[in-house]
């Protein structure tokens, strides 16, 4: 038995859970925060048999693969005191951080 922790963006969490549920996987969802953009994350816990780990990871990858997002960063205007202008920047978002852990014992009561 394996326990998979998948940390995904909030925007992707529901879609990943729905697809995993449709494929027969039970998922526990926890809210979390972190990452480069300090945006909300969703941490998913999925228990599964060892031979199904690759299928779970593939579902996660299909639902929240990396993509580009435009963010606007304030940039100071030289010689204008405390005035700022906006400068759009493209950043990579999405994807997932996944941990696969051995489960010594599992009971469902």
* Residue 9 CA, distance from chain mean position: 4
Domains and CATH numbers, the chain: 2-67+93-102 (3.30.70.120)
pLDDT, tens digit, for every residue of 11-45? 899 999 999 999 999 999 998 877 655 667 899 99
pTM: predicted TM-score of the whole model, two decimal places: 0.74
pLDDT at residue number 71: 74
pLDDT at residue number 36: 56
pLDDT at residue number 81: 65
CB atoms within 10 A of CB 13: 23
CA distances from 90 to 69, 71, 85 (A): 6, 6, 17
Residues whose CB is less than 8 angstroms from the CB of residue 76 and which lie 6 or more positions away in sequence, other chains included = 82, 83, 84
pLDDT, tens digit, for every residue of 41-66? 899 999 999 999 999 999 999 998 77
């Amino acid at each position: 038995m394996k326990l998979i922790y998948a940390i995904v963006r909030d925007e992707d969490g529901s879609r990943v859970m729905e697809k995993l549920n449709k494929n027969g996987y039970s998922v526990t969802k926890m809210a979390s925060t972190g990452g480069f953009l300090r945006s909300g994350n969703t941490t998913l816990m999925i228990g599964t048999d060892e031979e199904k780990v690759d299928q779970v990871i593939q579902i996660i990858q299909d639902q929240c693969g990396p993509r580009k997002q435009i963010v606007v960063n304030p940039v100071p205007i030289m010689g204008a005191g405390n005035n700022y202008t906006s400068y759009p920047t493209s950043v990579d978002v999405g994807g997932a951080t996944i941990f696969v852990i051995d489960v010594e014992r599992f009971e469902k009561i």
